[in-house]
Amino acid sequence: MSRKLIVQKFGGSSVANVERIQRVAERVVSYKKKKRDLVVVVSALGDTTDELIELANKINSEPSEREMDMLLSTGEQISVALLAMAIHKLGFEAISFTGSQVGIITDTSHTRARIIKINADKIKEALKQDKIVIVAGFQGVTLNQDITTLGRGGSDLTAVALAKELKADECEIYTDVKGIYTTDPRIEPKAKKIKALTYDERLEMASLGAQVMQARSIEVAKKFGVPIHVRSSFTRETGTMIIKEVKNMEEVVVSAVTLNKGESKITICNVPDRPGVAAKIFNGLAIKGVSVDMIVQNVSHLRQTDISFTVSKVGAAKTFKTTKKIAKSLGTGEILEDDNIARVSIVGVGMKSHPGVAAKMFEVLADNKINIEMISTSDISISCIIQKKFAEIAVKALHEKFGLAK
């Protein structure tokens, strides 16, 4: 195909009601008029998915995952049919497909299935007939023809995977914000929309608590080099590109400041400092399904050390209990929990080649009389755990000092 092919994904809020579906149809058609080949991925209408989950829970508090997928996949099926009708109404040809029809083959892990392969023949055939192709996001099918869903954010994954399979020129992710910002504009009104970000930067931001597109989709996009354009479904302006390499931007050291107030800190004091102890602790937590985020262990004194880690507040009470049990069996000291913490992070590919970024960050926090409780760094990010009450001050100060408001 020599024509430009774009995969567009519209989330639930973009198709929440009849008027919005019509607006999406108009938008899609405006691109079609520019002679683009279009594959449109749609999520379930507004809160449909949550409503279906609620209905299921009324019937069975532990519903079978297979039946849950059977139930939830209807949400996107409704969306694609309605969007096709809305596009027809505008006089354009469109055809809708379920994940099953379009050959999105997954493994059998219901409610969180992984895509194994995509048989895109039906889509290619429809594109050849100059039809706008509409695909139900979030869903797939096993080789045994059971319907599966891909987990939260699954529609993004559908879009990225289709863009890869069809060698699309771009994958547009439509959302209710205008793009990705240098920090949360609700905290810092001076926050600027970022023009372009690398996959890695975005991945760091995602794992650091910034919303819009989940890590899994970005990972797939990175793996296959799918260019992503995050933009608003309510305006026409360009959003944020997520790509492999951002050119002419080497001087940008820090791309964004992120904040995550959704974690608790747990500290195990006086851990015996001998090989294998840390492994025992975190294996024990992993077995219980606890996903640990940041881990910090300091040098030891008197053959003992303290280990701190952060976990999502959701289920933190259970995690605390589990940790106590494990710690007891290892003969450690006290276990402390603190849920009044926040994690502020700076992210930027540029910091790889600019020394002194971490020092500058610590200085900014010190200048604002903010104590740092934990530090963790990666290649392209630095995170500090601070007391929650200082979170907004820290974000604003860092945003200012790293020149993001310019």
- Residues in contact with a second copy by CB under 8 A are 18, 21-22, 52, 55-56, 58-60, 63-64, 66-68, 70-71, 73-74, 77-78, 80-82, 84-86, 88-89, 95-96, 98, 100-101, 122, 145-147
Give min distance, CB of 84 to a second copy, in A. Answer: 5
Give min distance, CB of 232 to a second copy, in A. Answer: 23
**Token pair 């007939």 is at which residue?**
129
Give min distance, CB of 328 to a second copy, in A. Answer: 37
Q: Toward a second copy, which CB reaches closer, 66 or 178?
A: 66
Q: Toward a second copy, which CB reaches closer, 74 or 312?
A: 74
Give min distance, CB of 356 to a second copy, in A. Answer: 57
Q: Toward a second copy, which CB reaches closer, 62 or 237?
A: 62
Give min distance, CB of 94 to a second copy, in A. Answer: 8
One DSSP character per residue, 41-72 reads: EE--STTHHHHHHHHHHHH-SS--HHHHHHHH
Beta strand 228-232 pairing with 170-175: parallel
Give min distance, CB of 11 to a second copy, in A. Answer: 19
Give min distance, CB of 74 to a second copy, in A. Answer: 4
Handedness of CA 350, 352, 354, 355 (dihedral sign): positive
Q: Toward a second copy, which CB reaches closer, 51 or 363?
A: 51
Q: Toward a second copy, which CB reaches closer, 76 or 293?
A: 76
Question: What size, in residues, is the chain?
Answer: 406
DSSP one-letter code for 40: E
Which among 73, 89, 76 is positioned nearest to 28, based on CA atoms? 89
Q: Toward a second copy, which CB reaches closer, 135 or 395?
A: 135
Give min distance, CB of 111 to a second copy, in A. Answer: 13
DSSP one-letter code for 298: P
Q: Toward a second copy, which CB reaches closer, 158 or 323?
A: 158
Q: Which residues contact 202 (CB under 8 A, 6 or more apart)?
A: 180, 213, 218, 242
One DSSP character per residue, 93-148 reads: -EEEE-TTTTTEEE-S-TTS--EEEE-THHHHHHHHTTPEEEEETTEEE-TT--EE
H/E stretch holding 196 reads strand 196-198
Q: Toward a second copy, which CB reaches closer, 146 or 339?
A: 146
| Distance separating alpha carbons of residues 131 and 146, to the nearest angstrom | 28
Position 180, amino acid: I
Strands laid side by side in the 304-312 sheet: 292-297, 304-312, 263-272, 335-338
Q: Is 134 exposed, middle or buried (0-12, 13-18, 19+ CB in 10 A)?
A: buried
Give min distance, CB of 127 to a second copy, in A. Answer: 17
Q: Toward a second copy, which CB reaches closer, 144 or 235?
A: 144
| Distance separating alpha carbons of residues 292 and 308, to the nearest angstrom | 10
Q: Is 192 exposed, middle or buried (0-12, 13-18, 19+ CB in 10 A)?
A: middle
